[in-house]
Amino acid sequence: MASMTDIRSLVDSIANALGPDAPVETVERVARLFITQSQNGPATSPERYDSSASHLKVAAVSIGISLLDCSSRLPRTVSARAYDKIRRVAGLQRQVLEHITERTGAEFFRCGLSVSPVAVILDSGTVTDFIQLASSIEQAAVDVDADFVSGFSAIVNHGVGQGAATLIKSLPDSIVRTERLTSSVLFSAKSGSVNLEAIAGLAASIEALRSRKSEQKNNGRVFALCNTDGYSAGLDASFHCLGDAELTINLQMADDPASELTVEQTDAAATALASSIADTLSKRSGYTISTGRILRGTKSGGTDSERLESVLDGDGRSIESLIDGISRHLSTAHKTNIPAKLICLK
């Protein structure tokens, strides 16, 4: 029988995983299902999830990694620390996911990383410094066999700082020289609060990328975000939220029309699966890794599964029309008030 302290901790963990907008009733139903499923084994045993996790299809799983402790006055030190930390924390991720698949039957389609918004870490760096940091993070992702690494990001909803402005300027070279790195700029969607300087800067970088499209290994790796805390627009466009635990496991569930599970059952199984991954990776790596965010599939139902996604096709467009396209996306996001992602130059 779980103690009241354990139950409260479980409820808090589920509420954090489902997000701040999850109804209390949903959190309670998921907690009851989770407790029922855990009666046959200890909370840290991956084997106990066989029956529920076998139904799950996970579009993406990422390790959220805070790089706040990698800051330094020397940009080269920032790059070296970021590379080293990603390697140490995520080196066993692929191995652990293969182990969990064998134990549970859950399917993982993409394995990635999400780091802190680097414009915060390298706020006084030059364009060259940001390009070097992008290359270091990219190499770490290659070394740990991650499919993507997100977090080459800037937050401009309260203005454009030096780090954000320089990151945006560095995008053409940073994207062209990498293959797995994704970049995002988080805008405010509130009427009258959209930063025109950031929109113009992003449009200029998109125009530069358009002229070098043939050099890019994977297109569609630059995003304009709004109405999101970092993760809710999708893991590929995410960044590790500044208020989250230092290291987290985050899941983005895939839409599965063949699944017979209810939304609540899927939530419970997904929470259990994320807990299993975090626990197993913690034991093998020696780091304390927490359960992070769980994003529902877009067709699973519920307001927390809603996401707005659109594409800005930069081909044949002037910089003025690119600015207009970004502004229209932000205006639409303001009206919908749901997590929004604009894929730039797909």
Q: So where are the chain's domains?
A: 58-260+277-344
pLDDT on residue 128? 97
Q: Whose CA is closest to 191, among 331, 64, 318, 92? A: 331
Helices (H), the chain: 4-18, 24-37, 50-53, 75-90, 93-104, 118-121, 127-143, 162-176, 196-211, 263-285, 319-336
Instruction: Tell me what the pLDDT averaged over the chain comes to.
Output: 83
pLDDT on residue 261? 75
User: Given the structure tokens 């290291």, which residue do they identify?
Assistant: 247
Coil, helix or strand at residue 307: coil
Which tens digit of pLDDT belongs to each residue from 99-138? 888 888 888 999 999 999 999 999 889 999 999 999 999 9
pLDDT on residue 78? 96
Between 54 and 87, the more confident residue is 87
Which tens digit of pLDDT belongs to each residue from 146-182? 999 999 999 998 888 999 999 999 999 999 999 999 9
Give the class (CATH, top level) of 58-260+277-344: alpha beta
pLDDT on residue 126? 96
Whole-number Cα distances in Å, 291 to 5, 10, 163, 272: 18, 11, 30, 9
Residue 49 has pLDDT above 50, yes or no: no
Averaged pLDDT for residues 197-217: 87
Q: How far, in Å, CA of 160 to CA of 308, rounded? A: 24
